[in-house]
Amino acid sequence: MMTDFPTAFLFFAAGLTLLALPQGRARSILSLIVPILAGWQIWTLPEGALWQVTFFGLELELMRVDRLSRVFGLIFSLAAFLGNLYAWHVRDAVQQVAALLYAGAAIGAVFAGDLIALFFYWEGTAIASVFLIWARRTEGAYHTGMRYLIVQIASGVILLAGAALYWRETGSLAFETMTLGSPGTWLIFLSFGIKAAFPLLHNWLQDSYPAATVTGTVILSAFTTKLAIYALARGFAGTEILIYIGVVMTLFPIFFAEIENDLRRVLAYSLNNQLGFMVVGIGIGTEMALNGTAAHAFAHILYKALLFMSVGAVLYRTGTSKASELGGLYRTMPKTAIFCLVGAASISAFPLFSGFVTKALVLDEAASAHYKWVWAALVFASAGVLSHSGIKIPFFTFFAHDSGLRPKEAPTHMLWAMGITAALCVLIGIFPAPLYAILPYEVDFHPYTSGHVIGQLQLLLFALLAFGFLMRTGIHPPELRAINLDTDWIYRRAGPWLIARVVAIVSTIWGAVAGAVTSAIRGLIAHFYRSHGPEGRIAHIWPTGSMVLWLAVMLGVTLLVVYTT
C-alpha cells in the first residue's frame, strides 16, 4: 500500500531509477509522475506516527502526519511538479536527479517526527540542492555553490549539536514545540534561523539563488526556506523574539531590492521579505497566526515560483536578467508578461489574488494581538513589496525603455508551467475556502469584507502613486550596471584579513616555540655527544683492572645494603 513507506522514498527511488533511463522524455515524464503520486499519498495518509525505525538504540519517527505537516507536504509536491514541468527541456541528469532528491529530502523533513531524522533530511536538502547551482558549470557557480554548501552543512551540524544537548537535557528527541532557554534549544533555533535567512544570516540566499541554472532557481525558491518556516512553526511557535526578527526581515530587503539591477537578486531579496511575514506569524503563535503562516507559505511558493519562472524565461531567451539590459519584451513575449503580472499582483496582495487572502491572516492577527507597531511595520513592508516586486519586476522587464531585444516567446512547457501556477494564484485568491480547509486549525476568517478590500486598495494605490512620483521626479534609483554590497561584504573583507592576521600570529608563536624546542633538543644532543660520543668519557678504553675494582666496589655496597636490612 502507498502508506507502507515514507513519501520521501518515492523521490529517492525515482532519482536512482532516472539514472538507469535513457536520456530523453522518459526522464522528464518520471519527474512529473513522482510528485503526483507523492501528492496523492500525502492527501490520503491518515494522521499519526506511520513509520518508525530503530537506529543505534534510538526510535526514529520517519513519518509523523498531522495537519501542519500535510499542508507543507502538499505544497512541496505541487512545487516539485511545477518545477519539473518548467524544466521539461532539461536533459542534464545532474539537475534532474538533484531536483528529485532535493524535493524528497524536503518532504521527508516535513514528516520527520524526531530531531535525528530531521537532521538527515536537513542535510539531504543541502547536498542535493547545491548541484542545481553547480549545474551551471561556471567558475563563479562553483565558488558560489561552495559558499552555499558550507552555510547549509553548518546549519545541519549546529542542528545535530543542538539535538544532542537537547536529548541530554530532556531525554527526548521528539520534534515538538520547544522553549528557548537552554544551549540545546538555542542551537536548534540558530540552525533553523540560518536556513530561514534571518537578518545577518541571509546573504547565502541572495548569493546562491541567482547563481543557479534557469530552472534550478525556480526549484530552489520552493523548498529550503519554507522548510525552515515549517521547522520554526513546529518547534518554536509563540516565541516572541521571532516577531521582531520577522519585522526586520520584512523591512531591510526593501532597500536592497530597490537598488538591485539583477532581477533574480531582486526576487531573492523579495523572498526574504515575504519570509518575514511568516516568521512574525510564528512568533505571535496563535492558531490563526499559524494558519496565516502556513497559508502564506503555500501561496508564496506559487507566486514566487511564477515570478522566478517569468524572469527565468526571459533569461533563457535573452541571456540576461539585468534590468538595465531589458525592456519592451511584451512585444514578443506577451504571455510571459501576463503571467509575470499575475505573480506581481499576487505578491502585492491585490484583491482576487492569492497574496490578499493569506497575508491578511497574519496582518489581522498582529492587530488583534495588540502589536500595533508590528502591524504598522508589516503594512509599510507590504507597500514596499508592491514597489520592488509588484512594479519593478514586470515594468523593467517588459514595459520600460525599449531594449531593442526581440526574443521568441517562452517554450511551450514553460508557458504551461507558468499558466498552471498563475491559474492557482487566481483561484486561491477568488476561492480561498479550499486552502483554508487544509490549514492546521479551523479558520473563521472572511477576507472579502469592505474594510479589508478598501484598506488594501488604498494602500496599493498610494504605493503606485509613490512609485510614479519617484519615477517622474528621478528620485527612484536608476537601473545601473553595478554590484551592490550587502552585509556579507563585512565578513568577506574582514574574514581574509582576520585569518591572515591570526595565521601570522600563530606562525610567529609556533616559530618561537619550535625554535626554543629545537634549541633545547640540540643542546641535549650536544651534551650526550660530549659524554657518549666518540670523544666522550664513556667511549674511552678502560683497563681491565679498573673494571674489576669497580665490580668489587659495587659488590661490597650490595653486601652492605643486604646486611644492614
pLDDT tens digit string along 380-414? Answer: 888 888 887 888 899 889 988 788 889 999 999 99
45 lies in the same domain as 34? yes
The three-class DSSP label of residue 352 is: coil
pTM of the model: 0.87
Q: In the structure, what pLDDT confidence band is assigned to residue 261 with cuts at 50, 70 and 90?
A: confident
pLDDT at 9 exceeding the cut of 90? yes
- What number is the average pLDDT over the span 245-251? 94
d(CA 211, CA 467) in angstroms, rounded, equals 29
Is 12 contained in some domain? yes
Q: What is the mean pLDDT of the chain?
A: 89
d(CA 194, CA 39) in angstroms, rounded, equals 28
pLDDT in tens, 504-531: 899 889 988 988 888 888 888 777 667 6
Using H for helix, E for strand and C for coil, what is the string for 437-500? HCCCCCCCCCCCCHHHHHHHHHHHHHHHHHHHHHHHHCCCCCCCCCCCCCCHHHHHHHHHHHHH
Rounded to the nearest 5°, which phi and psi values hold at 58? -105, 140
- Give how far the C-alpha of residue 173 lies from the chain's centroid of Cα atoms, to the nearest Å: 23
The three-class DSSP label of residue 213 is: coil
Is 488 contained in some domain? no
pLDDT at 533 exceeding the cut of 90? no
Q: Is 369 exposed, middle or buried (0-12, 13-18, 19+ CB in 10 A)?
A: middle
Q: Which of 211, 236, 261 is the last residue of a domain?
A: 236
Q: Is 120 exposed, middle or buried (0-12, 13-18, 19+ CB in 10 A)?
A: middle
Answer whether 87's CB lies under 8 Å from 95's CB.
yes
Nearest in space to 228 (alpha carbons), one of 147, 301, 70, 122 = 122
User: What's the length of the chain?
Assistant: 565
**Any residues with CB less than 8 A from the CB of 37 and at least 6 apart, and which?**
2, 10
Using H for helix, E for strand and C for coil, what is the string for 50-63? EEEEEECCEEEEEE
Answer whether 347's CB lies under 8 Å from 303's CB.
yes
Q: Which cell is 56 given?
A: 543505534
What sign does the CA torsion over 451, 455, 456, 457 have? positive
321 lies in the same domain as 193? no
What sign does the CA torsion over 103, 106, 112, 118 have? positive
Q: In the structure, what pLDDT confidence band is assigned to residue 564 with cuts at 50, 70 and 90?
A: confident
507 lies in the same domain as 428? no
Q: Which of 185, 202, 236 is the last residue of a domain?
A: 236
Which residue shows C-alpha cell 678504553?
541
Res 532: pLDDT: 61
352 lies in the same domain as 478? yes
d(CA 256, CA 170) in angstroms, rounded, equals 42
437 lies in the same domain as 535? no
Q: Which of 220, 236, 252 is the last residue of a domain?
A: 236
Which residue shows C-alpha cell 516577531?
243
pLDDT in tens, 310-357: 999 999 999 999 988 898 899 999 999 999 999 999 999 999 999 999
Res 539: pLDDT: 58
Is 444 contained in some domain? yes
* Number of separate domains in the chain: 3
pLDDT in tens, 289-304: 999 999 999 999 999 9
- The more confident residue out of 491 and 191 is 191
pLDDT at 450 exceeding the cut of 50? yes
269 lies in the same domain as 379? yes
Partnered with residue 49 across adjacent β-strands are 64
- The more confident residue out of 322 and 53 is 322
If you ran DSSP here, which 8-state letter would residue 351 be given?
T
Is 528 contained in some domain? yes
Q: Which cell is 238 given?
A: 509563540
pLDDT at 469 exceeding the cut of 90? no
- Give how far the C-alpha of residue 306 lies from the chain's centroid of Cα atoms, to the nearest Å: 19
**Any residues with CB less than 8 A from the CB of 300 and at least 6 apart, and which?**
226, 274, 278, 347, 355, 358
387 lies in the same domain as 531? no
Nearest in space to 263 (alpha carbons), one of 344, 348, 338 = 344
29 lies in the same domain as 59? yes
- What number is the average pLDDT over the span 252-258? 85
d(CA 176, CA 532) in angstroms, rounded, equals 72
CA distances to 13, 224, 456, 465, 513 from 355, rounded to whole Å, are 35, 20, 11, 21, 64
Q: Which cell is 180 given?
A: 528557548
Res 1: pLDDT: 47
Question: 138-152, 418-432, 464-478, 535-549: lowest mean pLDDT where?
Answer: 535-549
Q: Which cell is 483 given?
A: 554590484
pLDDT at 545 exceeding the cut of 70? no
CA distances to 43, 92, 219, 277 from 347, rounded to whole Å, are 27, 32, 18, 12
If you ran DSSP here, which 8-state letter would residue 1 be given?
-
d(CA 554, CA 558) in angstroms, rounded, equals 6
Q: Which cell is 433 given?
A: 475556502
217 lies in the same domain as 245? no
Rounded to the nearest 5°, which phi and psi values hold at 260? -80, 140
Res 541: pLDDT: 57
pLDDT in tens, 55-103: 777 778 888 999 999 999 999 999 999 999 999 999 889 999 999 999 9
Rounded to the nearest 5°, which phi and psi values hold at 470? -65, -40
Is 531 contained in some domain? yes
Is 437 contained in some domain? yes
Is 487 contained in some domain? no
Question: 92-101, 428-437, 489-498, 539-548: lowest mean pLDDT where?
Answer: 539-548
354 lies in the same domain as 440? yes
Res 256: pLDDT: 85
Residue-range definition of the domain harbouring residue 423: 238-482
Q: Classify strands 58-65 and 48-55 as parallel, antiparallel or unpaired.
A: antiparallel
413 lies in the same domain as 541? no
Per-residue burial over 378-393, b = 16 or more CB atoms within 10 Å of its CB, e = otherwise = bbbbbbbbbbbbbbbb
pLDDT at 216 exceeding the cut of 50? yes
Is 373 contained in some domain? yes
- What number is the average pLDDT over the span 4-19? 89
CA distances to 27, 458, 525 from 105, rounded to whole Å, are 19, 42, 61
36 lies in the same domain as 82? yes
Res 332: pLDDT: 93
Partnered with residue 64 across adjacent β-strands are 49
